[in-house]
Amino acid sequence: MKNHFLFPYWCRFLGWALFLFHIPVVIFKDNLGFRFDEDSQAQGLFNSHHVFFILTALLMTVGLFLVAFAKEKIEDEQIWSVRLESLRWAIYINYAILIVSLVFLDDVHHIMELNLWVPLIFFIVRFRWVIFRLNRLAGREN
């Protein structure tokens, strides 16, 4: 099976670095000098709130994307099968959450944030969990 659409293995570490860099920036944005005044809401598309959101969302999205679609050290048919199954479950969960949130939430901004990150996060969690279980099972057989 061809795997030329996956990033190299080292991109996983770059992705984790981008994702982990995103967390303290968002948590400590006031201490880092990202102070938002009330007048910035009226400045249009390029106000400080929007630019900060776009930059942090890009950090998180690119980081998660690199983690999710980086090659494994050994890429075989079983890994491809687990990857495909995890991607399928991520899409199922994403659309279930999307449908529920469209019915019960009014804020479209939060729905789009969920739709942006939930598939990647769920894919990574499920893929890593299945790989962990397979490695543990293989360790017991030896």
Domain span holding position 61? 1-72
Let me know: does 71 contact 9? Beta carbons within 8 Å: yes
Domain boundary among 49, 72, 95: 72
Q: State yes or no: pLDDT of 78 exceeds 80.
A: yes
Number of domain units in the chain: 2
Same domain, 4 and 67: yes
Percent of the chain predicted with pLDDT > 70:
84
In order of 6, 34, 126, 139, the CA distances from 31 in angstroms are 37, 7, 35, 46
Average pLDDT over all residues of the chain: 84
Same domain, 17 and 54: yes
Q: Quote the tokens at residue 67.
A: 């983690």
Same domain, 44 and 101: no
Same domain, 67 and 81: no
pLDDT attached to residue 43: 60
Same domain, 2 and 63: yes
Q: What is the pLDDT of residues 104-142, one digit of tens each?
A: 888 777 787 778 889 999 999 999 999 999 999 888 776
pLDDT attached to residue 87: 94
Q: What is the pLDDT of residues 36-66, one digit of tens each?
A: 555 545 566 666 777 788 888 899 999 999 9
Report the C-alpha gap between 35 and 28 in whole angstroms.
11
Same domain, 66 and 117: no
Domain boundary among 72, 91, 106: 72
Q: State yes or no: pLDDT of 13 exceeds 70.
A: yes
Nearest-Å Rg of the Cα atoms of the chain is: 19
Domain boundary among 72, 92, 120: 72
Same domain, 31 and 86: no
Using a cut of 0.85, tell me whether the model's pTM lies above it.
Answer: no
